[in-house]
């Protein structure tokens, strides 16, 4: 499924991503006659297939004229996702460490815990009658423990690469940011939600925050440091921003 839009245009070269205001668009050049624009669920990813002969500037202009249409459909997808709150019942999908797992709820008397089984299932052990909020808390603790386990080694690696020292780091549930930092204290906050993401996302957020030790703002100088530390950062950033944070 996907919302398709067709326009009759003819014209240009090069496959990449373009950015039109705050919208990232994947551009694929093909042996076709017309431009095809599509917005895909669930994340609202935007893709334009364009004739090989069409210039990037023409594609950009086309995208600008379709921006309202793109945003309208992205909003629809986000709203569909919002209607799917986690119930913490067996069979539900949950993300952990960049993988999708199926939840299996097992009620029993004893300790609340989550065990990974066969790289496919998350077995959630809870007391009979545990509420949805109670189950969510077990998950949050599971995520927190995971991050506390993996961050030290990732941090060590990036401290060596960047020659920057982090004085303190904290994992926190945040609504709008993947990370933040106190430059003077060299203290980094990392969003608990990163436990759901692939490891490279966690690394990027960490390196991004460390780069603020050198440059406060997201200016060219900041980007130049990031290019040096983590050349692939733009792709990872895009991956992280595919969904508004509170929907992840
Ligand atoms: Zn930043």
Closest CA to 125 of 104, 142, 94: 104
Distance CA 9, CA 67 (A): 17
Q: Which structure tokens are listed for 12?
A: 């240009």
User: 139 CA distance to ligand 1 centroid (A)?
Assistant: 27
User: 25 CA distance to ligand 1 centroid (A)?
Assistant: 22
Enumerate the CATH 3.30.2010.10 domain ranges in the chain, comma separated.
143-247
pLDDT for the residue numbered 85:
74
Asked if omega into 42 is within 30° of 0 (cis), the reply is yes
Q: Tell how strand 99-107 and strand 93-96 pair up.
A: antiparallel
User: 68 CA distance to ligand 1 centroid (A)?
Assistant: 28
User: 181 CA distance to ligand 1 centroid (A)?
Assistant: 8
User: 64 CA distance to ligand 1 centroid (A)?
Assistant: 27
DSSP structure class, residue 217? S
Question: Which pTM value belongs to this model?
Answer: 0.68
User: 205 CA distance to ligand 1 centroid (A)?
Assistant: 9
Distance CA 51, CA 49 (A): 7
* Topology of the domain covering 143-247: Zincin-like (3.30.2010)
User: 222 CA distance to ligand 1 centroid (A)?
Assistant: 9
pLDDT for the residue numbered 8:
35
User: 228 CA distance to ligand 1 centroid (A)?
Assistant: 16
Mean pLDDT, consecutive 10-residue segments, the chain of 248 residues?
Answer: 38 62 88 91 85 92 93 79 78 91 96 96 97 96 97 97 97 87 96 93 96 94 96 87 54
CB 167 within 8 A of CB 187: yes
User: 204 CA distance to ligand 1 centroid (A)?
Assistant: 11
User: 216 CA distance to ligand 1 centroid (A)?
Assistant: 8
Q: Which structure tokens are listed for 92?
A: 């539900």
User: 247 CA distance to ligand 1 centroid (A)?
Assistant: 20
Q: Which structure tokens are listed for 77?
A: 């997808």
């Amino acid at each position: 499924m996907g919302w398709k839009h067709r326009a009759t245009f003819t014209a240009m070269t090069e496959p990449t991503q373009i950015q039109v205001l705050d919208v990232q668009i994947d551009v694929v050049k093909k042996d076709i006659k017309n431009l095809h624009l599509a917005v895909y669920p669930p994340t609202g990813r935007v893709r334009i297939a364009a004739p090989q002969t069409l210039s990037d500037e023409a594609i950009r202009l086309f995208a600008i004229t379709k921006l309202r249409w793109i945003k309208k459909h992205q909003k629809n997808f986000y709203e569909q996702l919002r209607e799917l709150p986690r119930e913490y019942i067996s069979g539900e999908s949950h993300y952990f460490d960049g993988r999708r797992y199926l939840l299996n709820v097992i009620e029993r008397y004893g300790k609340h815990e989550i065990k990974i089984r066969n790289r496919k299932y998350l077995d959630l052990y809870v007391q009979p009658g545990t509420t949805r909020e109670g189950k969510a808390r077990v998950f949050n603790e599971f995520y927190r423990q995971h991050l506390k386990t993996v961050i030290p080694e990732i941090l060590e690696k990036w401290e060596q690469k960047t020659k920057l020292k982090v004085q303190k780091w904290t994992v926190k549930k945040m609504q709008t940011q993947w990370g933040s930092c106190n430059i003077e204290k060299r203290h980094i906050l990392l969003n608990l939600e990163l436990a759901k993401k692939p490891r490279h996302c966690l690394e990027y957020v960490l390196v991004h925050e460390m780069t603020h030790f050198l440059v406060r703002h997201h200016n060219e100088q900041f980007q130049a440091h990031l290019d040096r530390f983590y050349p692939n950062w733009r792709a990872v950033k895009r991956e992280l921003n595919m969904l508004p944070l509170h929907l992840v």
